[in-house]
Amino acid sequence: MATFLRIAFRNVFRNTRRTALTVLVISFGAAALILSGGFFAYNFDGLRETTIRNGLGHLQVATARYVADGEERPMQHGLERYAELQEWLESRPHVRATAAQIDFVGLISNGDKSEAFLGSGVDPEREAAMGFTLNLKQGEPLVGADEALLGVGLAAALKARPGDVLTLMGTTSAGALNAVDVRVAGLYATGIKEFDERALKVSLATAQRLLDTDRVTKVIVKLDATRRTEEERSAMVAAGLGGRGGELRVRTWHDLATFYQQVVLLYDAIFLFLGVIIFILVVLSSSNTMMMSVFERVREIGTLMAFGTRRRQVLAIFVLEGVVLGVLGGLCGLAVSYGLIQAINHAGLTMPPPPSFSTALPLLVKLVPGLFAGVFVLIVAVLTGSAVLPAWRGARLRIVDALGHV
């Protein structure tokens, strides 16, 4: 076998130009897969963490009825005694912080014009402790009651600026109309234009006053690591959720992040499409190389068989050649990919905002060791597979014909 491997290895370098071209194609294919995969992985990571930091948290605890049925009236299935629940949750080792939140809708008016809003009643201090980020464009963050942060689109529609006083109108949990005056503390952007045109944040107390309730919609939980999400949800449920296991439900960020899931599905489809194109490209290139290699060595094959080399041994020589070429091309591909990832990540490039986004995103590629290993194995497998048919043809040659080949 060592001699066959030696023959295969040396033959790879017999026609250096052709080998270089094949290795170039393989490297290009490997780099395209690794870079696109790394780019997608970076975006998945970024989108996931952004989704979590923008208010989703790792876990959300709400009542089972709210999760199952929603609400006909504001806070109909709201969460009572949420402070006790937060205390229990925060006693768990992997929970970093919790924050109660109210989701509500209503109208906001500047006296001349009213706009519908999607509101959040938040606890600014706790959310800050959870590391939630807010892209504040003007003004100051929320500090007290009777203040509001407006999405930039909503503020533009109302021609509102920090310091202005606006009126929030909503329905109480009993079904009555209610109104609260708030001072605009600041304007913020979520990155999603449509949401910026409706987004509004007030303090938890302001929201509870508007809705006339002492409940909240949910308690958001921040963990010490995203990877512990599923494990911690199971542990919380197993631990009985502070004696309220039958009443409450825990959902993960992944359950709630429909946009994230759609993006992942889209990117996965793109990656598969790209992978298939590159697969075909590499197969065609390497098959051609192997076919030429067999064609050029017909007489050599005849000589080997005349001296007693068996068909399966001839097959092995050419398949090994495919393996050598695959390993060589794969390693070059990994090296090229690593270099390109470093270059791209240090170039400070940005991408134009994607659809529905209002801010540019940094162009970065994640170095995923598993992707490197997977692409390397794939390349070697493809090259080995590409060698089988030409090798089989070579091994089936008649000795006399092969020796007489010109």
Spatial contact of 79 and 61, defined as CB atoms under 8 Å apart = yes
Q: In angstroms, give the least distance from the CB of 319 to other proteins.
A: 16
Half-sphere exposure (Cβ direction) of 196: Cα atoms closer than 13 Å: 19
Told to check if 303 binds other proteins by CB under 8 A, we report yes
Interacting residues with other proteins between 38 and 57 (CB under 8 A): none
Task: Identify which of residues 306 and 351 has a Cβ nearer to other proteins in the complex.
Answer: 306
Q: How many residues belong to the site for other proteins (CB under 8 A)?
A: 23
Looking at 307, 346, 369, 370, which residue binds other proteins (CB under 8 A)? 307
Which lies closer to other proteins via its Cβ, residue 228 or residue 311? Answer: 311
Among 134, 192, 300, 387, binds other proteins (CB under 8 A): 300
Binding flag, residue 105, other proteins (CB under 8 A): no
Single out the residue of 304, 319, 382, 383 in contact with other proteins (rule: CB under 8 A): 304
Minimum gap (Å) between residue 230 Cβ and other proteins: 55
Candidates 306, 335, 347, 351: give the one binding other proteins (CB under 8 A): 306
d(CA 25, CA 399): 34
The interface region with other proteins, picked from 21-29, 145-153, 357-365, 396-404 by CB under 8 A, is 396-404
**C-alpha span between 283 and 258 (Å, rounded):** 37
Residue 15: φ, ψ to 5°: -110, 85
Question: CB atoms < 10 A from the CB of 141, how many?
Answer: 15
Contact 306, 363 (CB under 8 A): no
Q: Which is nearer to other proteins, 92 or 311 (CB)?
A: 311
Q: Parallel, antiparallel, or unpaired: how do β-strands 248-252 and 59-63 relate?
A: antiparallel
| 53 versus 299: smaller Cβ distance to other proteins | 299
Q: How far is CA 176 from the centre of its chain?
A: 43
Of 227 and 396, which CB lies nearer to other proteins in the complex structure?
396
- Indicate which single residue of 11, 190, 203, 285 sits in contact with other proteins (rule: CB under 8 A): 11
**Which one of the spans 9-17, 28-36, 156-164, 253-261 is the region binding other proteins (CB under 8 A)?**
9-17
CA 98 to chain centre: 24
Radius of gyration of the chain (CA): 31
Closest alpha carbon to 394 in 334, 282, 321, 311 = 311
Would you state the structure tokens that stand for residue 243, as one six-digit string? 């004696």
Nearer to other proteins, 155 or 294 (CB): 294
* Among 95, 180, 305, 334, interactor with other proteins by CB under 8 A: 305
The pattern of x and - marking residues 13 through 32 that bind other proteins according to CB under 8 A reads -x------------------
Among 27, 43, 285, 309, binds other proteins (CB under 8 A): 309
Nearest to 55 by CA among 8, 2, 119, 10: 119
Provide φ and ψ at 218, rounded to 5°.
Answer: -160, 165
Q: Is 118 helix (H, G, I), strand (E, B) or coil?
A: strand
**Looking at 234, 295, 310, 353, which residue binds other proteins (CB under 8 A)?**
310
Q: What does DSSP say about strands 350-351 and 361-362: parallel, antiparallel, or unpaired?
A: antiparallel
Q: Of 15, 172, 313, 358, which one interacts with other proteins (CB under 8 A)?
A: 313
Q: Distance (Å, rounded) from C-alpha 386 to C-alpha 233? A: 47
384: alpha, beta or left? (left if phi > 0; alpha if psi -120 to 50): alpha
- To other proteins, the closest distance from the beta carbon of 277 in angstroms equals 34
Residue bearing tokens 């999607």? 118
Applying CB under 8 A, among 73, 159, 227, 398 the residue interacting with other proteins is: 398
Query: How near is the Cβ of 311 to other proteins at its closest, in Å?
Result: 5
Question: Which C-beta is closer to other proteins: that of 133 or that of 313?
Answer: 313
Separation CA 201–CA 112 (nearest Å): 21
CB of 285 to other proteins, least distance (A): 22
Q: What are the start-end ranges of the H helices in 167-257?
A: 193-196, 204-211, 229-238, 253-256
Site for other proteins in 334-363 (CB under 8 A): none
Classify residue 62 by its DSSP letter.
E
- The correct pick among 18, 193, 311, 393 for binding other proteins (CB under 8 A) is 311
From the list 100-108, 195-203, 245-253, 304-312, the region that binds other proteins by CB under 8 A is 304-312
Helix residue spans in 212-257 (DSSP H): 229-238, 253-256
Q: Which residues bind other proteins (CB under 8 A)?
A: 3, 6-7, 10-11, 14, 299-300, 302-311, 313, 398-400, 403
